[in-house]
Structure 1
Amino acid sequence: MNIEKTSALVLAAALALSACATPDTPPYMGGPDNFGEANRQTMMAQVIDPAPQYDTAVPETSAEHAGQAVERYRTDKVKKPERVKTSNALSSSGSGGGGSE
C-alpha cells in the first residue's frame, strides 16, 4: 500500500472511533468521581446514623422488670433461655472418602 491509502484508512478509522465518544463521557467507565465508589458505599453502610428518627421518642421500658432482672443476676438465679434450633440438618461423622477397610 502506498502512504496515501494508509493515511486515508487511519483517518477513516479515527473518525469512526471518535463518533462513539461524546464530549461529556470520559474515556473510562464511570468518570473520575466514580473511582472507588464500591469501597465508599461499603464503608457508608457501616456508619451509624448520627441523628436517627424513631417512631417514639423514648422506648417503653419497665423499671420494675429491669430491677427484677438485676436482682436475679446478683443472686445467680438468671432465667435460662429456651433452646432454639436454627436448622434441621443432620450431622454425620464421615470423611466422605469411599476407601476400603
Structure 2
Amino acid sequence: MTSRLRLLVLAAALPMMAACEHNYPGPAASNFGDANRMTMAAQVVNPDPQYDTLNPPTSGEHAGQAAERYRTDKVKQPVRETTSSGPN
C-alpha cells in the first residue's frame, strides 16, 4: 500500500472511530458518568418546592437587640470549640 492510500484510508476511518460508543464490560459500565450527572442534578432548582412552613421562624426583636449590642460593642462572645477530642 502506498503512503497516500494509507493516509486516505486513515482519513476515512477516523470519523467512524470517533463516533464509537464505549461499552465497558463489568460493573463500571452501569455507573459510568454518574458523578457528572449527579453534580448537574444537584445544581437544578426545584421549580415547585414544597415546604412545611412558608417562612422560617424569626424574631425582629432579637435581631434588633443583636444590632444594638453590635453598635454599643457589647457583642455576646461565642463559646470556644475545639476540633480535637484528645487531651491537650
Q: Does 1:49 align with 2:49?
A: no
Higher helix share: 2
Match of 2:84, SS state, is coil
The structure with higher relative contact order (CA 8 Å, sep 6+) is 2
Shift of 1:86: 3.0
One of 86, 89, 93 as aligned partner of 2:86: 89
Shift of 1:27: 7.0
One of 73, 78, 83 as aligned partner of 2:75: 78
* Deviations, residues 40-83 of structure 1 (Å, cap 9, x unaligned): 213433x2634432210011111100100111112221100111
Q: Does 1:28 align with 2:37?
A: no
Shift of 1:35: 5.6
Gap regions ≥5 residues in structure 1: 1-25, 92-101
Q: Distance in 2 between matches of 1:59 and 1:90?
A: 39
Between structure 1 and structure 2, the one with the greater Rg is 1
* Corresponding position of 2:3: none
* Corresponding position of 1:67: 64
CA RMSD of aligned residues (A): 3.0
